[in-house]
Amino acid sequence: MSEHSEFAGRKVLYFDDEPLQVKNIADTFKKFGMGVDRVMRPKDAILKLQTTKYDLVVLDIRIATVEPDDLDQGTKWIRYGVQFLKNLRSGEYGTPAGTKHSVPALAITAVVSTGTVDSIEELGREDDSRFEYLAKPVDLDNLPEKLGKLLS
């Protein structure tokens, strides 16, 4: 039985372009009994959000993975995770039921410059603390506290 059974059964979308980082954090979510879908491309993340109900979205704030066909298919070019989060927070990507709602989000970043932190914190202020962030390398000991705030 997981030490953090309060998270068991929760569904997470994890969007990151660093496979090792994804594996480490996804393995931790699984130890908590959480289901994890991992994606590395913006269009895959958007498709998952439109077809699956998630309790939490976790993403690298500095995603820069864009494929040329993304633009051809009408997907907005998402250069950085901040824009993706803004779109997520606004409900722009929709949900499986066709309704718009705001999914709690945990942003992860290796870039902790003042501008990046300000952008991240601004998103958090916009939505009643349903938003948190962690700096890379992620200290997995801090993860349960962040999850508790987001999933309570």
* pTM, entire model: 0.78
Domain containing 126: what range? 5-151
Q: How far is CA 16 from CA 50, 57, 64, in A?
A: 18, 11, 10
Going residue by residue through the chain, which has 152 residues, state the pLDDT in tens, using 9 for 90 and above: 457 889 999 999 998 877 777 788 889 999 999 999 998 887 888 889 888 889 999 988 766 555 545 444 433 434 456 677 777 767 777 666 555 557 888 888 776 655 656 666 666 555 555 778 888 788 888 889 999 989 98
Kindly report the CATH number assigned to the domain that includes residue 141: 3.40.50.2300
Domain count, the chain: 1
